[in-house]
Structure 1
Amino acid sequence: MKLHVELTIVLFLWAVMGRCITAETRLRSPVQLSLFYETLCPDCRNFMNNELCPTWFRLEEAMNILLIPFGNAKEIQDGQNWQFHCQHGEGECQGNIIQACMIHYLKNATSYMPVICCMESASSPLTDAQSCLQVHAPTVLWDTIISCVNGSKGNELMHQNAQMTNELEPPHNYVPWILINGEHSEELQYHAENDLFSLVCNTYIGGGICDLSEDI
């Protein structure tokens, strides 16, 4: 009888704790931010340097970041591959592919955001791309990125980014184009570009990291 009572208590506590953990996880679900951008676009770089990167470094656990470098570029099929024409010239196409390959090989925002932020804050993102990778993600070789850029993988990644950009609803008509939890509106865009920290914390509603970060 005693064993039965103890087992019942254990099962009850387990069920209660499970519900609490589930509720807490739901309340603290990270904010999904998707950024459609161009590597050499001045407005995109301003947003990344002034809002996205500082906010992410402070609120990493409250955010899921998806970066899609393509923006206003155009693609034309060329046999089995694709040719890309970018708003700010061939250098931007190169930068877009470099960052697409970095995102692919570094796999998660914890690894690739420091590298991308380093590039976008540099006076010449393309010139500093290799050093940014070596400093912030030394486990991935620059040769790996360049092989991706010059090969079929980079072409495939850029085509995927083009498809994601072209499938936006509503369609993008400028960059940076920002989605919060899969939604875009002019109001969300305005708040993201002017006070992303507050927007993330107000959307996150989980407290914790936002409360602590206010004093940083």
Structure 2
Amino acid sequence: MSRVPSIGLILIFKSTTCVLMPKDRFPIWTLAIVSGGVKAVLNPLVLVVFSWDFWQAFRHTCARADAPLAVGVYYESLCPDCKNFVVDQLNVTVSRVPDLVNVTLVPWGKANVSSDDGSVHCQHGPEECWANRLHGCVAAAIDDASVRTRAVACLMAAQKTLRADGPACLQEPPLTFAPTMTLDGSQGTAEQQKQLLDDLLGVVCSTWQQRTGQTPAGCQQ
């Protein structure tokens, strides 16, 4: 195989499939193969690696196109502007288009760590430091993105009376039936609860298939 195809191989292997799109990678391969002549075109390694590389690039490009947008929110628990954003913007967005966003909550804001004793100082005082920790625990403990965002928005709405009214934001809905199941942190509707009760394996398999497009061996009848 000539030097040009070899250089083409190096370029492909050193690039990531998510950076170069198939339409950008195709000319690289075309140049490498054409410059290398018939031997390069007929070389099994070139053909195999080209086919695999192009398929991987296409597959990853499609996956990236469908991936949710990563939204990071760096806020303070007692900040009025943060409250307005979380309640009026973030909660509404996650509620309406939960599949389009992947939200990361960072309740830190303008807090800083003292170089003298390592203590944390928050912009709105010690009470905000406590509230930031509360928000951090909530963000870490609740898996379902919609439930998590709704709980944080509730805490932000109760900003001025957080110690008194905050616990109500974190209460689980009362059980109307036992057992009650959750899937990905959500109880779902009454009909979904019935489906979980009657056929848990079926619900898990169908949900997994919808999410990944794959059918695990244990789901095959």
Q: TM-score, normalised by structure 2?
A: 0.47
Q: TM-score, normalised by structure 1?
A: 0.48
Determine which structure has the larger strand proportion and give its number.
1
Larger radius of gyration: 2
Between the two structures, name the one with larger relative contact order (CA 8 Å, sep ≥ 6).
1
